[in-house]
């Protein structure tokens, strides 16, 4: 079965943010170089994954009003001091967009964040 991994732009941005905050300057530079090479390969179609598109202004306008409520409540019963970040919200919206675009494929968020792992879509077989 062929599989295409879509990496949300929020994930790319967050990864770059984490690289800039960890290790010494040399480690950050080496990590940043590998990161840039991987992202360029994805944009050039040379990687086993491809980046999603940045959302259009109207797309963000359609879902941004839900953010204050998500930011003001606990993310889950196990994460009572953490809310849904704006990056998480954009990843969830990317997930929903992929379901509409690729309705015949299995779609899921493959996160390190345990709360996002429950986002899984499997197309229903036709009789």
Report pLDDT digits (tens) over 44-81: 989 888 888 888 899 999 999 999 988 887 766 777 77
Tokens 């953490």 sit on residue: 82
Residue 57: per-residue pLDDT? 92
DSSP3 helix / strand / coil % (the chain, rounded to 5): 50, 10, 45
pLDDT band at 1 (very low <50, low <70, confident <90, very high): very low
3-class SS at 35?
A: helix
Write the CA distances from 24 to 29, 31, 32, 35, integer angstroms: 9, 11, 12, 16
């Amino acid at each position: 079965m062929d599989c295409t991994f879509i990496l949300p732009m929020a994930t790319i941005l967050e990864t770059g943010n984490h690289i800039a905050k960890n290790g010494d300057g040399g480690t950050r530079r080496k990590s940043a170089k590998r990161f840039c090479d991987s992202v360029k390969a994805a944009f050039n179609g040379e990687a086993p994954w491809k980046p999603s598109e940045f959302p259009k202004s109207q797309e963000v306008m359609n879902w941004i009003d839900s953010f204050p409520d998500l930011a003001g409540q606990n993310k889950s019963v196990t994460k009572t001091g953490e809310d849904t970040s704006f990056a998480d919200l954009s990843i969830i919206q990317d997930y929903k967009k992929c379901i509409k675009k690729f309705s015949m494929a299995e779609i899921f968020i493959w996160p390190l964040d345990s709360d996002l792992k429950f986002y899984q879509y499997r197309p229903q077989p036709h009789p």
